[in-house]
Structure formats: structure tokens, C-alpha cells
Structure 1
């Protein structure tokens, strides 16, 4: 007899969102929770910092709108950040409740590297969110790492916009902090190697979903948006000299499954 138990899809994962307010700008808040919604339900939303200090004023304005619980942490010693320890202790407490499928760690601070590793050792999925300055060890310790510049911009520019002339003699405003980041060069050689490594049939076709999964395992920070594309399929399609993309059959949702392979020499 069939049961009505929900499928364990990524949308059904229960996630704990822990934000280091000292190392994450409030400007990302909209994009942050839109992104998290792709991976699951933000069952817990906490943000850590010393709320008596004026530098967190930006976060104070958005906490109620997004139901984020502020966690007060005073600095015990001048020049030392006690927020990290508070966040880590709470993360371990939440881990041992066994109520969560994954954690979202929002910070550019490498001090959370060991925490990410520990959470993954328990079989939980770790999504990291931080600026492009985030040290590589923290990025690599996560299952998936999303650069927050993408979230602030909502898109990546293929090239910088030309400067506009002042209007009515007014001075030109400085470029806002939320401006889109410039698209990076597509790592076609890296993608091609992944395809070579996982292709197991005689014609070398690989399901696109499997390609994306293996890319994420090897490079947690890989994101098509960094290269100016919304989806991996769009990125692949834009490289016709290196890859072939083909739609086949119909999947469980009524659409077609996409397959990709390295383009053969001479074709």
C-alpha cells in the first residue's frame, strides 16, 4: 500500500540558518533567503553580533521583516570577536537535536571552517554564504558555497557599464556596493575533465544533473551565475565549440532530460 510520506527532496530539507552579522552585509538579506529557499526550509534563522554597537544598524532594520532572531554577544575583550564562539556553540546544540538536514553558515570568516567540517561529518549538508574574499579552506569545507556578491546584484554583468555623464551639473555618484560583479571566464577545461571522468557509455553522453553534482563536489563555489548564466544548461549551450547538448525522452515532470558530452574532434 502506498504511503503519503513526503519525498526527501531538497525543497523539504529543514535548514538552520546562522548568520555572522560582523562578516555579512545586510544588503544580501533578500537574495540570501531567496537562495536558501531553493535548498529547503529555513526552520531556524539566527544572527549573531553585539547589537549595542552602531555597525549592525543595517541588520536591525531587516530582522523583523525576515523573522530573524538576533543573538546578543558582547565582546569580552577589546579587539576580540566573541560572536564566532557563540555561533559555533549554538550550531552544535542544534546539531544534537537531530532536527535538521543541513546548515546555512553566512560569513566570510575562515574560523567556521572546522564547524563546517564537523557538521558534514555528521552527514548534514552545509551551505556556505560569503564574499569572494572568503578563504578557500572555508569554501572547500562546505558542500555548496554561494558568493554573496551574486545575491546582492541578482545577476552578473558580462562587462562593465560605461560611465554616465553628470546630470544638471551634479557630481557623479559612486558605484553602489550592490553593483553586479563582472562575469568570469567560463572554466571549459574543468567542465570537460569532469565529463571525461564520469562518462561511462560508448558515446560519452552524461545526464546534465550528474555533471552539475560532480562539479559541485569538486568545486563547491562553482555557480553558473559567476559566468553570466542563470543555469548550467545555458552555460553549456553557450560553448558549442566544446560541448554538445541534447534533450531526450521525458522525465517525471513531463519535460525532457538534458544530456551533454565533449564535442568530438572534427564535429
Structure 2
């Protein structure tokens, strides 16, 4: 306590004198219309402090007002950001729904355009990650009429064939897998060959066993030739020729073919259940 008095003695004395002067001025001012000379001196002396205190109070009030406004603004921003996030989520769901509807419309249109094919819709539930085995799993199995070698297609073209069947799901080997060679032909010239995975270019195909005189050139369409043993229907688009080169021995031609189906993004496919009857 004594140390406080020693440190602040001057300030305390000044404050007491100031309070006494203010009290005196207030008391005497209430008894007359005009202040006395002493009161005028006191008021003039206190004027700077009064102005300073007024400015200080105004600044404090302004700070409090701005602080309150800042809190309100932050709360409003948080509310708007939450609403924006909800709207963005709804927009994404609408876009995804529209894309799914478009895929299903494309498959339905293909089904209606090919009434001779008994087509069944299937969902892709898994795409294999093994680079040496290009395959996927669908949600249809033996309970749904799926059999070994059932062809799998989309509205774009040929995907592959079923090689393993379980009651409620099946495994499909893709045409770009080394296990999935098929008989194919050039749509424009009807030239036949064997279409297989290109071992040097993953994701690509090559049409082999073409004679030196085979009429094949870049841009030609490659379609399935139809194979009874594999229940493969005829005329399903597989891809387009990118280039044609002679084989190493120079006795035959070999065509590089780019598939039309995007295998990495498959979500829905069609099963050809009556392929053996085509």
C-alpha cells in the first residue's frame, strides 16, 4: 500500500484537487446565472480535459460499435458460407443425377434401336487395379441369367465378356486384356483378322493376321465379326484404326486400333443375353 502511494502520490493529489474544483464549480454555478471569475478559470482549465474525455468516449463508443458490427458481419459471413456450401452440394448432386440420367438414356436408346438383342442393364461395382489383368465386376450373376462368355457392351461399343459367374455378380475380362482376343473385321472393307491387346501399348488393341493386300487404313472402323463359340454378336463397334504397319517379317500387316470405350470410367454396361442366337 505504501509503495502504491509513493508511486502514485502526485496523480492521487491531482485527482483529489480536480474533484474538489469540479464539485465547487458545480455547487456555486447552481446558485447564479453566470459563473464567477474563479469558476470561469476552473472551467477554462478543465476544458482541455473535458474535450479529451469527450473524444476518448466517442472513440471508445466507435470502437465498441465497430467491434459489434464485426461480430455481426462474421456471423453473417458464416451463415452465407454455409448456405453457399449447401447450394454447391445441391448443384453437384443435380449435375451427377443429370449425368447418370444421360448415361441411362443412352443405354435405353441403344436397347430400343437394337430390338433383336436381349439386353440387360448392369452396374459396374468394381474396376480391377491390376495392370496385368484388365477386368471389372458387375452386379448381375447367374440368378439374373448371366453365363460364361456373355458379351458386355455399352452404347459406344464392345467392352468384353464374362469369364466368371457368381449368383449375384460376375467378373468381366475387358477386350484390352491379353485374355480377351476376339474375331473382328474392318467395317468398310469386311477384311477379317484377330483383335487382341497390344502388349507394347497398354489400353490399345491391334488387329493381326492381315494379308499384305488387306484393305485397311487409318480411320476405318473395327467391329466384332461374330463368334459362336464365344456367343459374340456381329457388328458391335470396337474401335478405329490409328495406323497400319507391316509385321517384322514383312509377310503380313498389323493395324493399331484405339478402343471407343473409356474403360476407366465405366459405370453402367449392357449384357447381351441372347448373343448365341444372333
More helix by share: 2
More strand by share: 2
The TM-score normalised by the length of structure 1 is 0.24
The TM-score normalised by the length of structure 2 is 0.23
Larger Rg: 2
